[in-house]
A and B are shown apart, each in its own frame.
Chain A
Amino acid sequence: MRDLTNAVEWIEKANVAMFNHFEVKAVLFIVENQYTEVEGGVFKQKRRSFPLETIFFDAFPEMYLTLIRYVKERMISRKSEVRIALVFKKYTKAKQIQTEMRIKMMKEKESTSAYQLAINRQESVLFDDTDKDAEDDRVNYAKKKQASALQSASGSIGERLDSQASLSSDI
């Protein structure tokens, strides 16, 4: 538990020092794949993941404890495959401040049992409704290149059309 905390803290330090400048952040994920055999050789998969960020664990320490307990149980019972993954995601300061404010508000409303309240209300602590859109907005340089190439191509076509139009009008 302590080692995991240290690892997460180091990754966040590295984010501040290296990656945030390029609008990218590294996040440590606990990923879980659960396979249930339906019939001979056919499996049903459940894929889950959990981002480890200190902002959530500082606010809701009981969530961290529950997570550790859950992972321990899963690993001992060998019912699922648990791995740790380092994921690079898009970073925007605005989003981070929004998240900080959201958590602060949750804590201010119910300081003692904010996490319990979220459980009772069946609310997600990690995400809000706006996060759905952010998921598609991934940092992908291949896509960027394609987009820029398309843009330049459409630009040149547009220029050609303009020049043709001007020529026809001159004629």
Chain B
Amino acid sequence: MSGDSQNKKKPVKLVDKTRRAFSISIESSKAFELSIRKPRKKCKHCLTRTKGQFQSIFLLLIKQQGSSPKSKDLNVFFILYACILALDFLLLLNYTLHIFMPGSNFTGFGWVFFFFIFGVPYISPMVAFAAAFLGNPNLMKTMSNMNAYMITVNIPLVALAGYLYEDDPVYLLLLSFMMLVKMGLSATSAKVRQYLTNPRYAQNAEKLKKILRRQKEKLQKRDEILGREATQQLGGVGVGLGNDALAAAPGGHIDSNGRRSSAISQGADPGAKVDEAAAAGAALDSDTLRDMLLE
């Protein structure tokens, strides 16, 4: 009993939440692997999954974060942004006229549109215009948040008020179209925002791809010249995949860095017959050879 109590680990007291540590050991990885394998079919898991699905739909439709554009030419996105913004302005103008044209509409349902989240339907397009004019990603983010509020709170309430007031159904359709336009504007602005925060992404990605392609070609060339076996030996990999196997190979031993060096380079057995690749590898230091080939 006393042994058990000694072996039992005491729970750690968190002094400060910012001073927490993460574990990347093999044991912790195995624990993670085990925990993802556990069957999760209870009711609470189903509820969490449903909640997650709703959340993902909300994020995809309304709160898009966007990804950095892969092409250098972004004119398509800029034009799309301008078109959708213009359409948003037109719809807003149309609905505002509808609210105010018979004055009774304003007292019936128009006030919800105007005052419920004060002025958001009017401030949002103005912010979008200012963001495009100044090229400011923060303003675009603010505009996206305002649109999210409008879609989730403002427009459904206005639609409800309009329905109760027996408004023309065409305007209910207009409200739903406004919702779609706002979603499109948020998605396009997310793409433009990503470009504004990291304008050289596409160029850098292209350069990196070019570097990787060139490096691959060099490695292929090295394989062609020296042969696959020799290149594996340069990389520290032998037939048996271990240092022992490499060391066991004729005329070779492993240095402290795990690289194979031939006996010929040590001058121990100058007359031994080796193949061309091995000779090339043996005559030069492996690092020098690797550098020469990469050049």
Contact = CB atoms under 8 A, between A and B. Distances in A.
B36 A32 contact: no
A125 B12 CA distance: 30
Contacts of B36: 50, 63, 66-67, 70
Contacts of A67: 36
Nearest to A32: B32
A153 interface: no
A42 interface: yes
A43 B241 contact: no
Interface stretch (B18-26, B99-107, B173-181, B271-279): B18-26
B22 A94 contact: no
A92 interface: yes
Contact of A92 (B30, B49, B232, B258): B258
Interface in A138-160: none
Interface in A6-56: 13, 16-17, 29-33, 35, 38, 41-51
Contacts of B13: 41-43
Interface string B231-258: 0100111100111000000000000001
B32 A76 contact: no
A73 B33 contact: no
Contact of A31 (B23, B30, B211, B235): B23
Given A43-B14, A93-B236, A94-B241, A131 B26 contact: yes
B48 A73 contact: yes
A49 B22 contact: yes
Contacts of A43: 11-14
A124 interface: yes
Contacts of A69: 49
Contacts of B23: 31, 47-49
Contact of B24 (A13, A31, A76, A126): A31
B203 interface: no
B237 A94 contact: yes
Given A47-B22, A76-B55, A92 B28 contact: no
Contacts of B236: 92-94
B75 interface: no
A48 B48 contact: no
A133 to B, nearest CB: 10
Contacts of A35: 14
Given A44-B11, A92-B258, A73 B45 contact: yes
Nearest to B257: A23
Contacts of B55: 76
A48 B34 CA distance: 10
B208 interface: yes
Contacts of A51: 29
Interface in A65-91: 66-67, 69-70, 72-73, 76-77, 81, 83, 85, 87
B216 to A, nearest CB: 8
Given A33-B22, A94-B241, A46 B31 contact: yes
A48 B29 CA distance: 6
Nearest to A132: B26
A135 interface: yes
Interface centre among A50, A85, A94, A97 (most CB of B within 10 A): A94
Interface string B30-56: 111101110010000100110110010
A87 B24 CA distance: 8
Given A83-B22, A85-B24, A17 B35 contact: no
27 contacts: A13-B208, A13-B212, A17-B211, A31-B22, A31-B23, A43-B12, A43-B14, A45-B12, A45-B14, A48-B23, A48-B31, A50-B29, A50-B32, A50-B36, A67-B36, A70-B36, A73-B48, A73-B52, A76-B51, A76-B55, A87-B24, A93-B232, A98-B241, A101-B241, A124-B30, A126-B29, A126-B33
Interface of A: 3, 13, 16-17, 29-33, 35, 38, 41-51, 63, 66-67, 69-70, 72-73, 76-77, 81, 83, 85, 87, 92-94, 97-98, 101, 119, 124-127, 131-132, 135
